[in-house]
Structure 1
Amino acid sequence: MTAIVPEPTSTADRDGLVEMAWDPITRIVGSLGIYTKIDFANREVVECHSTSSIFRGYSLFMKGKDPRDAHFITSRICGICGDNHATCSCYAQNMAYGVKPPHLGEWIVNLGEAAEYMFDHNIFQENLVAVDYCEKMVSETNPGVLAQAENTRCPHEEQHGYRTIADIMRTLNPFTGEFYREALQVSRSTREMFCLMEGRHVHPSTLYPGGVGTVATIELMTDYMSRLMRYVEFMKKVVPMHDDLFDFFYEALPGYEKVGLRRTLLGCWGSFQDPEYCNFSYKDMTDWGRKMFVTPGVVVDGKLVTTDLVDINLGIRIMLGSSYYEDWSDQEMFVKTDPLGNPVDRRHPWNQHTNPHPQKRNLEDKYSWVMSPRWFDGKDNLALDTGGGALARLWSTALAGLVDIGYLESTGHSVKINLPKTALKGPVSLEWKIPEHGSNTLERNRARTYFQAYAAAAALHFAEKALVEIRAGRTKTWESFEVPDEGIGCGFTEAVRGVLSHHMVIRDGKIANYHPYPPTPWNASPRDSYGTPGPYEDAVQGQPIFEENDRDHFKGIDIMRTVRSFDPCLPCGVHMYLGGGKTLEKLHSPTQSVTGE
C-alpha cells in the first residue's frame, strides 16, 4: 500500500483555503472518500464532503425473490455485520408471517448478537481505531503530546497495569504492542461464541424466521459461558484503560472536545428482544419495543423525544439531494397506511424506488451513491447519526430508564454495568454517564468500550434465561409459519455501527419491495435536498486542527479520528492529494509505518 502525499511546495486554493482529500479512507472498506477545504491560517476544517463510489443495488435484485430467502441474501450485504442484517431480516419476516419464535430461540439470537457486538467492537476499537492513538501515530502527528504522556501517570493504573499514558500508547502499537496482540486473541474467542449460537460467522447458518435451528444443550451454554467469562475479565481492564487514554487527550489538548463535535442528533432502533413481551406484531410494537434490552429512541439536543418504534418507523424519510439517483415522486406507493391506520409517507422505505443514475462526481451537485436517510420530527428532517452505534445506544437507554436486570441498570442519566467475579478479579461496577462534552470523536470511541462491557453483561442475563428453558425441558427453538400472499413487515435492531432497519412488501407470495437501511447510509449521507450535510460532513467541517505538522506534512489525523469514530467499516488503502493542479509524488506512507498495510 502506497500513500500519495503532496510535494513540500504548496499552492493555496481560492480564499486562502487548501483542498485536501482522503479517498479511500484507511482501515475501512475502500469506497468512502472525504473531501475537505482547510484553513491552515486559522487551523480549521471549513468544509467537508463525504462520497461513496460503490453502488450495491440489493433493493433492486430482492424483487421477485421468495421472502424466506431474504435473510440469507441480505446477510451478504456486508462481510462484517452480515449477521445483523440476517437478524433484522428475520425480525421483518416474523412480522410479515405473524410468527412468534419460542423463548429459547430468541435467547439464542440475543446471545449471538451480543457476541457480535463484543467481537466487532473489540477488533475495531483495539486493532483499527486505537492505531490513531498509539505511540507511533502520536509521535508522528503530536510529538509534544507524546512527551506529556511520558510524564503523566495513569489514574487507573491498578485496574489495567499501565504506569503512564505513554505506556498505554505503546501497548496499542500495531503488531508490537502487547494489548494490540491480546485484543486479536479476544476477537477470536468472541467469534467462536457467535458460531456456537448461530453456526457460522458472519453469515449465520442456523438463523431463520420463526427462530433458530441451533440444538440447545447445557454443553453448548457451558462452551459459550467459559469464553464469555474470560471476556468479562478482559473488560475489567479495557474500560479503565480507555478512560485514562481519552481523558488524557482532553487534558493535553485544551479545546479537543470540539474535534468531531456536532449537534446531538442520535438515533437508536433498539436491540435484544425480550421474548416474554415481543410477539413481532406491528400493532404491539410500541410496547414490546420498549421492553428491548437496549432501548430504542431518538435523542435531540440531549432530550429523549421518543422511545416508540411506531413513531420511529413512521418518521423515516429517504432523501436524495446529492445522490446519484432519480426521484420516485411519480411512482407507485406500496404502503399508504400502516397496520394501525397511520399514513405512510412517500419517502418512507416501504414506498421507496431505487432509480440509479450514474454520473460524474460534482461536489457542487451530485457526488455520492449514498442516499440521505433523515428522521422527520413533525417539523424538520433531522440528519440523525448513530454515534458509532454505542453512543446512541447508551444515551437512549440511559435517558429512558427502562432497563433493570441486575447486571444492567439505566438510571435516567447513566447506565450501570455490574460485572461478576471472574477467575482473577473480583466484581466490578462500571458506570457510563451522559458525556458533558456532547457527541464528539472521543465520546464515540469511549462509548464503544463501555458498550462492549454492556453486551457482555447482557449476555450473562441471556445465558441464564436460556439455561432456565433448557433445564425445564423447553428446548424448542423454532416455530413453523406460512408465507402470506400479501403482507408487510419491518425489522428494527442495532447493527454494531448503529441503526438497522429492513422494510419488506409481499405481493403474490413474492417480495415486491425490500429496503434495508444500515447505519452507514445515515452517517455517511451527503447533503440532502435541503442542503443539510450528513453526519460525517457535519462532524468534520468546523472542527479545529491540533496536529503539529505544517501544511506540507499534514496527515489529517484528527479528520481520520473523527470519521473512524463513527465506525464506517474495515481496512483498506489510502490516497491523498493536494488540490490546485499540483504534481503528486508517491512517497512512503506515513500511515503505512503505523498500520503495516
Structure 2
Amino acid sequence: MTATAPKQSTGQKTDLVEMAWDPITRIVGSLGIYTKIDFAGKRIAECHSTSSIFRGYSIFMKGKDPRDAHFITSRICGICGDNHATCSVYNQNMAYGVRPPHLGEWIINLGEAAEYMFDHNLYQDNLVGVDFCEKMIAETNPGVLELANRTEARGAAEHGYRTIGDIMRALNPFTGEFYRETLKVSRYTREMFCLMEGRHVHPSTLYPGGVGTVATIQLFTDYMTRLMWYVEFMKRVVPMHDDLFDFMYDALPGYEEVGRRRVLLGCWGSLNDPEHCDFDYRTMTDWGRKMFVTPGVVVDGKLVTTDLVEINLGIRILLGSSFYRGWEDQPVFVRQDPLGNPVSQDHPWNQHTIPAPQKRDFDDKYSWTMSPRWFDGTDHLPLDTGGGPIARLWATALAGLVDIGYIKATGHSVDINLPRTVNRPERTFTWTPPTDKQGRPLSNAIERDRARTYFQAYAAAAAMHFLEKALAEVRGGHTKTWESFTVPDESVSCGFTEAVRGVLSHHMVVRDGKIANYHPYPPTPWNGSVRDKFGTPGPYEDAVQNTPIFEENPPENFKGIDIMRAVRSFDPCLPCGVHMYLGNGRQLHRETSPTQLNLP
C-alpha cells in the first residue's frame, strides 16, 4: 500500500489526521482510500473511496452485433472475465428466446463453480490472508502475535497446526507452508474451469444457446479427480480459518466493529437449474428461485425478497459524487418491462453514460465510480455484496429453497456436506448468519472473510451435484450442448448471476438487430460506490468510517491494517468499475507511409 504523509486538520472537537492509501495494493491499482483519523479516539472519522480511471464499456458496446457481447464484456476484467461472459450469455439467451440443452447448462455451472473455488482460494489465502500472517501481525500488533504463539488451535486435529501462531506463520507470503499450498490449489482449480469452458479467464467454448464443449465421460472424470482433491483440502481449510478468525475476536475485544456496517446485502443468485430455467423474463421469478444460489435482498438481517423481477425493477443508477452528467434529457429506451411493469429512467435499461471529467473535490465530485442503489419503494439502499459469499449464504440460508443432498438451506442456516475422500471422512459444515454479542445481525471484516471460506466449500458441494447431473445426461445419450437461435430485430433483456465478489447484471436493448444500449453492473460499482445524491456513502466508505483502530503503531509509523482489512474483506477488484477515458482524443499524423518504409 502507498500511504500519504499524515496531515493535521483541526475539527470542531478533536484533531484529525488526513491519511490516504492510493493505490490499495493486492488488487489492480485504481482504488484509493482517503481518510481522516482520530488517533486520540482510536477511530476513523471520515472516509472517501476513489476510482481513478473511467469505465466505458457501456459506450462502445453500442452498435455492436449482440452475439459478440460475451466476447467483448469478458474483457472488462482479467480476473472475473468468465463471470461477465456467463452473465452476457444469460442476457443473450433471454434476448434470443433460446433455452440451452440441459447438459450445456450443467457444464456452465461446473465452470462457474470451479471459478468460485479458484478465485476465492487465491484471494483468501494469497491476498487477504496476508493481512493475518505472522509478518503482518508482528509489524502491527506484536502483542497479538505473542498471544497467538501461546494459544492452542481448537481444530488442530483437522488442519494440523498446533497454535494460532503456527497458522499465521503458514500464511507468510512465499515462505509459509499453507500459502504455497494454496498456490498449487489455484492451479488445478483453474484446470477444472478450462476443462469445461476451454480457456480461463476468457472462455472459448461459451456461447448463447449453450457451449461448444465436447462432453465425454473422460472430461468429467478429469474434473472429478481435481474436485476431490479440493474437497479434501476444504476439510482442513474451514476449521483452520474458523480458528484464526475466532482468535482475532478473543485477542482484540471489540474487533467485531472493524469494517462493520448495517446489514444491507444483495445477491442476484447464480448457477441455474436447467430443469426450470427457460430464460424467459415473464417466468424469471419462478426460475430465479430455483437457482442453486438463491437471489435475495437482506435488510437488517431479514430477507425482504427473492424475486428477480422485483430485484431487477428496484435497481437505480445514481450519480451524486461521480464524474458524470445526468441523462434526464436523453431518450428513454424502456418504459415497461415484458410484464408491463413501469421501468425507472434511472434503471440500467435507460442509462446513458456521459463522462464529465473534472478536478477531484471531496465536497463535490471525486470518483469515476457511480452509485448503484436498490429502491425498496421508500429508500435508495446502498446494498453491498460483502465480497460475495456473505450475501449469497445469507440469502440462501433464509430462503430455505436449496436442497440437493450436498447442500441444504434450512431457513436459518446452510448445511454443506462434503463426501468422503481418500484421507478424510465425510464432513458437514454449517454456516449461520452471524450476530454480535447482543444478538444483532453482523456484517464486518471478519465475517465477510469467514463466509468466503464457507462458500468455497459450498461451491465444491454444488459441483458434486452438477457432475452427477452431467454424467447422467451423457450416459443417457443426451450429449447435445448447444441450441441454435436467431437474433431478433428488437428485444429487451437482462442477465443475472453472481461474479466471484458479488452481484452481476447485464442489461441490453436491441434495435434493428444491433445493440442500442448495454450496461454491465458488476459488484465493484456497488461496493465501491461513492456518496449518492442523497449524501449516502458507499459500502467501502461506510465500512471504514467509525472503524476502531487496534493497530499498536503510533501515527508516524501507522500501517492502517484495520482499514485494509475492512476494505479487502469486500474482495475489491477495480477493473470492473473503471477503465480509461481519453476525452475527445487527439488526431495523430504520420508523415511517412508504410509503403515508403517498405513494410508489408
TM-score normalised to the size of structure 2? 0.94
1: CA distance between counterparts of 2:272 and 2:352?
30
1:356 aligns with 355
1:449 aligns with 453
Per-residue CA distance 1:119-143 (angstroms, 9 max, x = gap): 0000000100000000000000000
3-state SS of paired residue (1:101):
coil
2:90 aligns with 91
2:24 aligns with 25
3-state SS of paired residue (1:17):
strand
CA change 1:432–1:34 in 2 (3 A) is same
Deviation of residue 6 (structure 1)?
Answer: 3.4
CA change 1:51–1:4 in 2 (3 A) is closer
Deviation of residue 330 (structure 1)?
Answer: 1.4
2: CA distance between counterparts of 1:372 and 1:475?
44
2: CA distance between counterparts of 1:61 and 1:256?
45
1:13·1:19 contact (CA, 8 Å) conserved in 2?
no
Answering whether residue 432 of structure 2 is matched by residue 433 of structure 1, we say yes
Deviation of residue 569 (structure 1)?
Answer: 2.4
Which of 477, 485, 489 is the matching residue for 2:489? Answer: 485
2: CA distance between counterparts of 1:483 and 1:412?
41
CA change 1:261–1:4 in 2 (3 A) is closer
1: CA distance between counterparts of 2:329 and 2:303?
35
Per-residue CA distance 1:149-186 (angstroms, 9 max, x = gap): 01110011111000000000000000000000000000
Answering whether residue 507 of structure 2 is matched by residue 508 of structure 1, we say no
2:590 aligns with none
2: CA distance between counterparts of 1:280 and 1:506?
17
2:3·2:19 contact (CA, 8 Å) conserved in 1?
no
Per-residue CA distance 1:258-297 (angstroms, 9 max, x = gap): 0000000000000000000000000000000000000000
Mapping 1:172-211, distance limit 5 Å: 172-211=171-210
Letter of the aligned partner of 2:554 in structure 1?
Answer: D
Letter of the aligned partner of 2:457 in structure 1?
Answer: A
2:502 aligns with 498
1:223 aligns with 222
2: CA distance between counterparts of 1:503 and 1:442?
33
Answering whether residue 333 of structure 2 is matched by residue 334 of structure 1, we say yes
2:261 aligns with 262
CA change 1:12–1:485 in 2 (3 A) is closer
2:137 aligns with 138
Deviation of residue 12 (structure 1)?
Answer: 5.0
TM-score normalised to the size of structure 1? 0.94
1: CA distance between counterparts of 2:291 and 2:81?
21
2: CA distance between counterparts of 1:328 and 1:12?
37
Per-residue CA distance 1:372-396 (angstroms, 9 max, x = gap): 0000001000000001000000000
1:419 aligns with 418
Deviation of residue 56 (structure 1)?
Answer: 2.4
3-state SS of paired residue (1:456):
helix
Letter of the aligned partner of 1:454 in structure 2?
Answer: Y
Answering whether residue 55 of structure 2 is matched by residue 51 of structure 1, we say no
Per-residue CA distance 1:84-111 (angstroms, 9 max, x = gap): 0000000000000000000000000000
1:261·1:543 contact (CA, 8 Å) conserved in 2?
yes
Mapping 1:72-471, distance limit 5 Å: 72-437=71-436, 438-471=442-475
2: CA distance between counterparts of 1:79 and 1:11?
39
Deviation of residue 3 (structure 1)?
Answer: 4.5
3-state SS of paired residue (2:127):
helix
1:135·1:172 contact (CA, 8 Å) conserved in 2?
yes
2:550 aligns with 546
Deviation of residue 54 (structure 1)?
Answer: 1.2
1: CA distance between counterparts of 2:65 and 2:18?
48
2: CA distance between counterparts of 1:305 and 1:158?
41
CA change 1:370–1:5 in 2 (3 A) is closer
Letter of the aligned partner of 2:111 in structure 1?
Answer: G
CA RMSD in angstroms comes to 1.1
Letter of the aligned partner of 2:134 in structure 1?
Answer: E
2: CA distance between counterparts of 1:359 and 1:190?
43
Letter of the aligned partner of 1:206 in structure 2?
Answer: T
List runs of 5+ in structure 1 lacking aligned partners.
Answer: 572-597
Deviation of residue 13 (structure 1)?
Answer: 4.2
3-state SS of paired residue (1:55):
coil
More contact order relative to length (CA 8 Å, sep ≥ 6):
1
2: CA distance between counterparts of 1:28 and 1:36?
19
1:529 aligns with 533
1:315·1:377 contact (CA, 8 Å) conserved in 2?
yes
1:27·1:569 contact (CA, 8 Å) conserved in 2?
no
1:38·1:45 contact (CA, 8 Å) conserved in 2?
yes
Which consecutive segments of 4 or more residues in structure 1 shift more than 6 A?
Answer: none
